[in-house]
Amino acid sequence: MKFNKTLNESILKEWKFYSVDYKAMKQALKDNGSGMNTEEYFEQYELSKKKLTKFYTDKEKWAVAYYDKMKESVEELRAMKVTSRPSMADTTAISNSDESESDNESNCPSDNDNVVFDIDAMNNSDSFSDSENEEAPAKTTDHEFLKQEYRRVGRSNHFQKYIYAKKSLDTFARELDLVLDFLFLNQTAFSKILKKFDKRTGSSIRQEKLAELSESHGFLNGEKMTELREGVSSMIDVVSRCKPVLPEGWETRKVYTIGCFDLFHRGHQNALMALREFGYFIVAGIHDDESYFKLKNKYTIDNLEQRMANVKPYVDQLYVIPSTDPTFSLQCMTSEQDIETGSCCYARGDDMLNFPGREWVESVMPVHFIPRTEDCSSSLLRTIYHAEDPEIRKKAAFAQTRYDGKPIDADGNVIKG
């Protein structure tokens, strides 16, 4: 495979504007009858250096600040207390307080502490009886007890801090990996295009230029980002040991979510992968093209079939929503048995807390939110690649992004195409 194709296929769409313009430099070295355009070659070479410097400067500044933020988040989580297994007698107290904790508390457990609520053991425990002859609570109370526990744990400060730290660090790790891959690819691009220059012109500037790059663009070796990546791995280990006690059956629930998923990007991927924290079977609803238009007042870039194909690898079941209000579709997709036993929940990104259908969803199952991935959105990709004005595209590619990933100008206004 030609290197230029490898470069284009391996780099995020949002970052292509920052990459070495390998194609333009290669084109400048072609003899079109009037000789090679070496002046154009070096103009593109210097421009590529400037773009990479801007990219890395912005990324390192963000990564260092975010790393410090995550250190604080992890320290807050480590200071949390882990509740011991509650008894059925605690059910009343638990249901009356979302933040209630058991009297028996400890610091974050170690890797060897695999603590969950075991209903069978709890039903057979002497602690549930006032006397040896009194029968343990009937099994018929199990479902209601678990449903209360699912909601209590999901709303607890401990779980919220855990899930935000875990998801944020997992996303941060993947982002750093992408940056490191980007740096390596561009370092290789410089090396290859300089080699091609020597071969076409008969000169020998490659080693000299690479030495200059090592001084001016030493960040291409990824040393700082690798250091941060190792630190993130350590923090992920700490967070994993601070996972809160989860009720029995938590990991076997069905997890529902809904989205449009146009111009599928890493933010979508990160969110869908994070849903496994809430259960094992992921059910995703996706708005059809007509309802998408009514919701956003614009047409999709990817049609329904393409959007479904993009989402399917990350979920277990996928269905289409033909309305702007997903309530009826959700009601049809959710079994009464799952609602009765508490074997389902709903999870989505925290960019839309008052999502359509929330009133019904929250009445029958717990709702969980996860942090969105920064610096990416379908709006950003739409503006960069589908705006009619080329200047708007370029402006969006090099712009800062808002909390929701949309590109903004110096005054904080969203750049629209």
CATH tag for 249-370 (out of 3.40.50.300, 3.40.50.620, 2.30.30.90, 3.30.465.10): 3.40.50.620
What is the residue extent of each domain of the chain? 84-153, 249-370
What 8-state DSSP symbol labels residue 113?
-
Greater pLDDT, 306 or 131:
306
Q: Which amino acid is at 392?
A: I
115 — pLDDT class (breaks 50, 70, 90): very low
Which residue carries 């995020």 as its tokens? Answer: 12
Q: Which helix (H) or strand (E) holds 349?
A: strand 344-349
Q: Write the pLDDT tens digit of every residue in 52-100.
A: 999 999 999 999 999 999 999 999 999 986 554 444 444 433 334 444 4
Q: Tell me, what's the pLDDT at 81?
A: 63
Least confident of 32-41, 82-91, 110-119, 260-269: 110-119
**How many CB atoms are located within 10 Å of the residue 42 CB?**
14
d(CA 106, CA 124): 24
Q: Tell me, what's the pLDDT at 326?
A: 96
Contact predicate 332/311, CB 8 Å:
no
% of the chain surpassing 70 pLDDT: 85
Q: Write the pLDDT tens digit of every residue in 307-364.
A: 999 999 999 999 999 999 999 999 999 999 999 999 999 999 998 889 999 999 999 9
How does 287-304 read in b/e, with b if 16+ C-beta sit within 10 Å?
A: bbbebbeeeeeeebebeb
Contact predicate 376/405, CB 8 Å:
yes
Q: Tell me, what's the pLDDT at 85?
A: 45
Q: Write the pLDDT tens digit of every residue in 218-255.
A: 999 999 999 999 999 999 999 999 999 899 999 999 99
Q: Tell me, what's the pLDDT at 284?
A: 98
Q: Which helix (H) or strand (E) holds 282?
A: strand 281-287
d(CA 47, CA 45): 5
Mean pLDDT, the chain, rounded, equals: 86
Q: Tell me, what's the pLDDT at 43?
A: 96
Q: Tell me, what's the pLDDT at 121?
A: 33
